[in-house]
Structure 1
Amino acid sequence: MSQTDILVSFQGVQKTYDGENLVVKDLNLDIRRGEFLTLLGPSGSGKTTSLMMLAGFETPTRGDIVLEGRSLAKLPPHKRDIGMVFQNYALFPHMSVEENVGFPLSVRGLSRAEQRERVAKALDMVRLDGMAQRHPAQLSGGQQQRVALARALVFEPKLVLMDEPLGALDKQLREHMQIEIKHIHESLGVTVVYVTHDQSEALTMSDRIAVFNDGMIQQIDAPEAVYESPQNSFVAHFIGESNALHGRIERIEGQDCAVRLEDGAEVRARAVNVAGAGSRTSLSFRPEKVHLAPASELYPNALPAQVRETIYHGDHVRIRLAVAGNEEFMVKMRFRADRPIPRAGERLEISFAIADCLALDPLDKPVRALAEAS
């Protein structure tokens, strides 16, 4: 990737509010032109602070942020030519939709005729044509968010920042707006930096995801890579759903390793983030990658399990198992009318491929609790 492909560069950026605790720790991040980059992480991980420093509402304690080769250190927010969309919309209640969307243009001194033309184009893009004279109080939450989006795009910025923009919407509308924003991004080619703590939202919308925790990027990659190939236990358990089993490395075998679990069983896993023989490790399994069947050529690892409960979800069944000391081990099984659903108390075997069992750093913190609290 050449320098001309990079729109924004965080260079050794740190941020502290009290002079002691770093909210953002030595952030180095290049944002590519035209990409949809999501900053994902729990509350307090540094993602929103990073966005606010880029917007100009917070100042880095150390380091620099460069936009198109120009330092933003002394450039106030209104001169950065960056569009912003917030969770609370931040619309002017006394202004009409047309006036709200046109506000950035009037500030920039465009003629009335050009303002009207651009506003009409922006409202058409977010499918709000015909509502120009309404006021925010006359609109639904989804419509207000569309107005905020149109206002952020109307002056054709190179960069748009979005801070939890869909957080106030209900689930169905939120999912609909995710696709709308994705389509608008694709059609305009504008660079978007999007902050959320919602993993499914990040997976749905992004070209790349930067997973934040404890003020640092834990992994930055395409959604598929972050989900399928997490680089540490935090990422594995924060993105989507994952089961954990704990043990020690018996031996390293090329890209794989043998792991002795706490109950004495041995399994083979993909060695992703391990310290070597004798070290502790946490194994990560996606629920959909585990099979309710004995070992086979494709799935050579097998462990005994006992069914704790089954939960019907229409197209699939979630089965909670007790496996190697983990009483919350989840498996997803596609529902088929001709296949019996295991019953609580039933004993069976689970099996899985070596490639679907990731040996990672020891999982000491309850990552799922962090995700749910964020």
Structure 2
Amino acid sequence: MKLPVSASESFVEFAGVQKTYDGEILVVKDLNLRIRRGEFLTLLGPSGSGKTTTLMMLAGFETPTVGNIMLDGDRIDAVPPEKRDIGMVFQNYALFPHMTVAQNVGYPLKVRGVAKAEIAERVAKALDMVHLGAFGGRMPGQMSGGQQQRVALARALVFEPKLVLMDEPLGALDKQLREHMQIEIRHLHERLGITVVYVTHDQSEALTMSDRVAVFNAGIIQQIAPPSELYERPANSFVAQFIGENNRLPGRIQSADGAVCKVSLANGDTVAATLTDAARVGQDCLLSIRPERVKIAPNGEAMDNRFEAQIAEIIYLGDHLRVRCVLDSGGEVVVKVGNAEDRPPLDIGSRIPLGWRAEDCRALDAA
């Protein structure tokens, strides 16, 4: 697990940043964020959460209402966008349709007064980097969406910026191509060691590509952590519900013994769970259990929680089954069962035992 970023190693820093457009509603609230040099950080959240506004302030297209932004030790919140040495990649590619691919990629160098011979050399390297070395003479309209996005990426990298910002760059691509481009961008980041700040509302994209993910909601970072930590140890109920699928069982925390607590559900059942900083003894809470952590017929396995249930629905999803179960005492639990796993026959209406460990079940805030 990576440690928090200290002031001495931060490459980008937001210090007490707030943003309002109307003087009343804060779109970004008291943002304090440090990003390492060479890090791939994703800003993730629903529409209106503040992630894109944060990116636009870093790019220079929006100005903080309060606070300041530092890049490589220099304050930049008053520096115009073209002076920030930042590359940008947008969802709509933003290529010049009347220019060839090579001219599009070379444009940032041309406006910086780089000599023609050097432009040609650097454009060739940039296109090779995104596997488009033979496409320099084509027009953007002659290329697929994925190829155009590679051109946009080459243009953002050709002038060797300090920082690359990406705003939903894969949103216009179909699922298969989007997943392919995610891996390509990730590998490119690893090869070049560049610092990337990436905005998306797609949780799987964020988990696939990032060193760390900052989850935004209502203008506030709810949690910032590596993907595995976000998924396995969400800090609150919003993060748990936004990242991946999970079962949610409302209850009240009755007691705690170290990290393990006892939670009573409305139907009278008691569940052993992991107590988090988001919940307290005596308070209402929301239990969060990932579907793949619930086991069917856990004979011989050490399970802190065991229940009887009836299968209400089975959905075939190729590599796994999604099994919706109704507990005898009420409430529903979804179980994800791998098709390669040894398991008893599963039929709608049949009764099965379920179980899960306390460490896989988190007691979070009831909000």
Q: Partner residue of 1:326?
A: 331
State the TM-score, normalized to the length of structure 2.
0.96
- Equivalence map 1:202-281=2 (5 Å): 202-281=206-285
Aligned partner letter, 1:161:
L
Q: Secondary structure at the residue paired with 2:23? A: coil
1:171 pairs with 2:175: yes
Give the aligned partner of residue 201 of structure 2. 197
User: Are 2:138 and 1:134 equivalent residues in the alignment?
Assistant: yes
Is 1:153 the counterpart of 2:122 in the alignment?
A: no
Q: CA deviation at 1:334?
A: 1.4
How much does 1:4 deviate?
4.5
1:299 to 300, 303, 310: 303
Supply the AA of the counterpart residue of 2:121.
E
Q: 1:157 offset after TM fit, Å?
A: 0.6
Q: Structure 2: how far apart are the matches of 1:221 and 1:12?
A: 20
Shift of 1:298: 1.7
Structure 1, 336-345 or 177-186: larger mean CA deviation = 336-345
- CA separation of 1:140 and 1:310: change in aligned 2, threshold 3 A: same
Aligned residue in 2 for 1:77: 81
In structure 2, the residue corresponding to 1:148 is in which secondary structure?
helix
* 1:285 paired residue number: 289
Deviations 1:168-190 (A, max 9, x none): 00011001000000010001000
**1:124 and 2:128 matched:** yes
Q: What is the CA–CA distance in structure 1 between the aligned matches of 2:206 and 2:279, rounded to whole Å?
A: 30
Give the distance between the partners of 2:313 and 2:279, measured in 1 at CA.
36
1:251–1:276 Cα contact (<8 Å) kept: no
Instruction: Identify the range of structure 1 (199-208 vs 266-275) with the bigger mean alpha-carbon deviation.
Output: 266-275
Aligned identity (percent) is 64
Q: Does 1:102 align with 2:120?
A: no
- Give the Cα–Cα distance (whole angstroms) in 1 for the partners of residues 288 and 277 of structure 2: 11
1:195 is paired with a residue whose SS is: strand
Q: How many residues align?
A: 362
CA deviation string 1:221-244 (max 9, x = no partner): 111111111110111111111110
Deviation at 1:20, TM superposition (A): 0.9
- Indicate the residue corresponding to 2:363 in structure 1: 359
The Cα of 1:330 is off from its aligned counterpart by 1.4
Give the counterpart letter for 2:322 in structure 1: R
Give ranges in structure 1 of 5+ residues lacking alignment: 364-374
Contact 2:167 2:199 survives alignment (8 Å): yes
Deviation at 1:273?
3.3
Please state if 1:115 is matched with 2:119.
yes
Deviations 1:127-146 (A, max 9, x none): 00111011110000000000
1:348–1:187 distance in 2 versus 1, CA, 3 Å: same
